[in-house]
Amino acid sequence: MTVQPPKVVLRIGSHAEKEYFEQLARFLDGLMVGGNLLEITPAATFSLVYAIGKKRGATLPFYLDPMTYCFGPYIDPTTGRKRIDLNALKSKRKDRKTKKEIFAVKDSYTALASKLGPHFEGAVKHGAAVDISVVTPDQRDKMCQGVVDYQIRRMGEIRAEIEVDDEDMQALSAVDKPAVVFAPYFFIHESWAAAGLDAAIDLARRTAALKPAVPVHAVVCANLAVLRSAAHVQYLINQLPATGVSGVWLWFDGFNELEAPLDELVNFRKIVKGLGGTMEVYNLHGGYYSLLLAHDGLAGISHGVGYGEQKPVAQVIGAAAPTVRYYLPPISKRVGVPDVQRCLPDVGITTAAEFFTQVCDCQICKGVIGSDLARFAAFGEMHRASATAQRDSQTPAAAKMCRFHFLLNRLQEPKAVAKLTSADRAKHVTADAKPWRDCYPLRQHLGPTGERGYIELWAEALDTSI
């Protein structure tokens, strides 16, 4: 049986990504903005959202992520220890008044906290994470109300604050409201899983009870141990439907579809299938494997312009920006440009026409390659970014082409997935990857021949009876 194409909701990471959203507006199923971006650049973000909406005639669902987890406890990725100091939100900078260097919560999060309500504002003021387990029921209700109000009212407030001359933009006031509102959510680590899951369910229930003007969705933001635990997974399947929320967005920290072992892939499918019949289920940071779960009830995925498969809850500070690799559609993974080039003759691709037939015929690939397959190298074009740089890095133009190519493919994938049957999914992923499976330069991505790489694990997980 075929299904509705799963949705792809694209998340705006920064205003530098504006071009991607404007160019791809007509293909998007939704647009998500983080509260921190909205609060640091309210007018610009508002204008961007409305400009994109305008291209779509105001029919583009808009989501405002309140990012309440940022103000809760997290696990330090370098030490593995629980942190309640909000240091992940801080940066070193000069104080405007004293001109002295300070280490303080970034303005974007300070502004967001002040909009979300006193619990979040207090957390920033005191430099101590919100401990949801000690928040009383009455206070929880107030927290939920504050987070809902923020999402429902904020865009309208910004519109009222800035001068909008464009008549069309005025007319678009109908899309001030987001498509859904998210209940407050906090990171759940295995060491506080029971209390954390209880709190997540309770916050979902309290938010749904407010009966706001738009549907309420919960966010389950937890680490991998929660996904691996059959008991925790079953708890969510049992408890979430009773909360009254109409959707849930799953975010398992560290769950990477391309590296996950079989039990994680199967458990993820179980939770999707377990909840899919009662509510809309999304993967907040998902990729192609998630899209394939549309047949199990997955309503959609979300991700940013430059990444697709995962996002850590706590980012490693100072990590270098990676090269934007070429998304190779037959294997649903980004790989290096020379890796692809070296494999082309081995899979029988020696002309541009063969490339368009067997790899990708998106506008970007056709434009870059034209009639000369050697021009594929442009996707990896390098330069010395600065006089002090030790190595060459990808040119911004090449990175942009890789991103556009990835997004054009990603936004077409739901239709292809929907045409499959549930039983065909495993065959589909293995058949598409088969010609590439034994190419030596791709073994670092697909795994050694004879061993199970992510393609085989996806196939097995999709065929597992659950």
Partner 1 sequence: MATFRKESALLEPVTGSMRRRGYSRTQPEVQFFEYSMDLYGYASKPQKTTAVELKLTRWMRAFEQAMIYQLCADFVYLALPMAAAQRVEVPLLKRHGIGLIGVGPGPRCVVLVPAQQSLVVMHSYRDFYVSLMQESRP
Angle at 44 between CA 38 and CA 47, to 5 degrees: 100
**262 CB contacts (<8 Å, ≥6 apart)?**
457, 460, 461, 464
Q: Give min distance, CB of 307 to partner 1, in A.
A: 17
Query: Looking at beta carbons only, is 122 or 322 nearer to partner 1?
Result: 322
Q: Give min distance, CB of 388 to partner 1, in A.
A: 16
**15 CB contacts (<8 Å, ≥6 apart)?**
41, 44, 45, 48
Query: Looking at beta carbons only, is 338 or 370 nearer to partner 1?
Result: 338
CB 123 within 8 A of CB 86: yes
Q: Give min distance, CB of 279 to partner 1, in A.
A: 42
Instruction: Please report, as a single letter, which amino acid is at residue 30.
Output: G
Q: Give min distance, CB of 12 to partner 1, in A.
A: 27
Site residues for partner 1 per CB under 8 A: 323, 336-339, 341-342, 345, 374, 377, 380, 382, 391-392, 440-441, 443-444, 448
Phi-psi region of 256 (alpha: psi -120 to 50; beta: other; left: phi over 0): beta
Query: Looking at beta carbons only, is 215 or 447 nearer to partner 1?
Result: 447
Query: Looking at beta carbons only, is 310 or 341 nearer to partner 1?
Result: 341
Which class for 96: exposed (0-12), middle (13-18), buried (19 or more C-beta within 10 A)? exposed
Q: How far apart are alpha carbons 124 and 105 in whole angstroms?
A: 7
CA-based nearest residue to 240, from 270, 200, 294: 200
Q: Give min distance, CB of 198 to partner 1, in A.
A: 45
Q: Give min distance, CB of 341 to partner 1, in A.
A: 6
Q: Give min distance, CB of 432 to partner 1, in A.
A: 22
Query: Looking at beta carbons only, is 366 or 443 nearer to partner 1?
Result: 443
Query: Looking at beta carbons only, is 176 or 339 nearer to partner 1?
Result: 339
Q: Give min distance, CB of 442 to partner 1, in A.
A: 8
Q: How far apart are alpha carbons 254 and 258 in whole angstroms?
A: 11
Q: How far apart are alpha carbons 321 and 150 in whole angstroms?
A: 32
Radius of gyration of the chain (CA): 23
Query: Looking at beta carbons only, is 29 or 339 nearer to partner 1?
Result: 339
Query: Looking at beta carbons only, is 373 or 461 nearer to partner 1?
Result: 373
| CA 207 remoteness from chain centre | 23
Q: How far apart are alpha carbons 150 and 4 in whole angstroms?
A: 31
Q: How far apart are alpha carbons 101 and 48 in whole angstroms?
A: 33
